[in-house]
Amino acid sequence: MKAASPGSVAAPPGPTAWRNAVFGVFALSGFIFATWVSRIPAVRDDLGLSTSTVGILLFGLAAGSIAGLAGAPALLSRLGSRRALLATLLGSGAGAVALGASAGVVASFPLTLAVLVLFGFVFSALDVLMNVAGAEVEKAAERTLLPLMHAFFSIGTIVGAVLGSAAAHGGIPVGWHFSVAGLLVAGIGASTVRFLPPIAPAPARKQVPAGLGPRLHEALRPARDPRLVLLGVLVAGMAFAEGSANDWITLAAVDGHGFDEAAGALVYGTFVAAMTLGRATGGPLLDRYGRQPVLIAMMALGLAGLLLFIATDTPWIAYAAAALWGLGGSLGFPVGISAAAEHPDPQFAARRVSMVSIFGYSAFLVGPPLLGMLGDAWGLLSALYLVVAVLAVALAVTPAATRGQARPGGGRSGGQGAEGKGPDAA
């Protein structure tokens, strides 16, 4: 069998195992994130927080995420892809255990905030690393696979949301819930990464001075590419639309539409189920019709769903609107990441992905506290009109960001000639 990638050792994992391992990493990432999101109302109640103070917690999560994005290329360079992914999966599991202890056992707001900063760091570094690994699989397969990989992320969030709803309905404390989830992610993650090619760390390059500022400056150096900046704006808008649902749709359903906590978690589950469907079916659509028309159509659906979710007072319509919101927001982030990762050097691809991801996570950084403050003043449903405006801006820049890209993946063949060259299609 042909080696999966340069730098593999003898008897490397096969191409299907390589691809499936990356799918598994995406699913674990989604699961641990949804575990946190699904229990935000319980964390709020355990800590006795207001809506705006929940926004401060989410600000801490996003701030740690920005630092993790800046540090991810250095982790990849020093450890290699397999060991870097293992480190961030173990860190995410440990962070969930610590979060359960700080919020559910100690019930300390400052400690929970500090843990969320660290959790955001390892989670966002994992995000960059798994997207770079996914781009390598996509190049080898010569077809669009990153949306499907993000569908596995969404599958993980569905499982996490359903289990979170069950835990909330059964009155399981967040300390126990988060601890079990964290241990599962650490254990399954350690087993999964064994099937990734053991790509060695990169040769030493120019040293970047220590500190967040210099690392952010280095991560943003690819911003001299105007198309990459436009992709960053597009990803920021889509990340804001997706992240606002991750952060607030549960509370908006509970506080704005009068759902109980378990039903609110299922509204979030509906959102991620629709997002999963869009990502699972998006690859063939993108290969056939191109990025621009598919993204424009999907984003229009997302705008319609978001407006309907805000306006309706009928429970079943709220579920349908959440589904449209999720479907419409399903492809923007993975398509932007796929385009950013189109570079033959994995190290430079990681920097490009890091830069575009910084745009996206900056939307997470600004959005949560701002929506929380607006929610305190106007109510969460009215605050979501800000998301409508941001999504409209992302839709407006889509033609320029995707101009001249007839095929996703930098002109790859869209599936022809992939046999024997790398991971096969799902």
Can you tell me the distance from the alpha carbon of 30 to that of 38, in angstroms, rounded to the nearest whole number?
A: 12
- Stated pTM of the model: 0.73
Number of structural domains in the chain: 1
Domain assignment present for 211: no
Domain assignment present for 29: yes
Taking only the tens place, the pLDDT of each residue in 292-320 is 899 999 999 999 999 999 999 888 999 99
Instruction: For residue 412, name the pLDDT band (cuts at 50, 70, 90).
Output: very low
Helix axes 51-79, 346-378, angle to 10 degrees: 180
Can you tell me the distance from the alpha carbon of 213 to that of 236, in angstroms, rounded to the nearest whole number?
A: 20
Domain assignment present for 410: no
Beta-carbon count within 10 A of 194 CB: 12
Query: Measuring CA to CA, which residue among 373, 423, 410, 292 is closest to residue 59?
Result: 373
- pLDDT, mean of residues 257-273: 86
Residues 6+ apart with CB under 8 A from 120: 60, 61, 62, 63, 64, 65, 67, 68
Taking only the tens place, the pLDDT of each residue in 171-225 is 899 999 999 999 999 999 999 998 887 665 555 455 555 555 665 566 556 666 7
Domain assignment present for 217: no
Residue 283: give the domain boundaries: 15-200+224-403
Can you tell me the distance from the alpha carbon of 73 to that of 165, in angstroms, rounded to the nearest whole number?
A: 36
Instruction: For residue 15, name the pLDDT band (cuts at 50, 70, 90).
Output: confident
Domain assignment present for 55: yes
Q: Quick one: how far is CA 296 from the chain centroid?
A: 21
Beta-carbon count within 10 A of 320 CB: 17
Taking only the tens place, the pLDDT of each residue in 315-326 is 899 999 999 999
Domain assignment present for 8: no
Burial 166-187 (b: 16+ CB within 10 A, else e): ebbeeebbbbebbbbbbebbbe
Domain assignment present for 65: yes
Domain assignment present for 177: yes
CATH number at residue 367: 1.20.1250.20
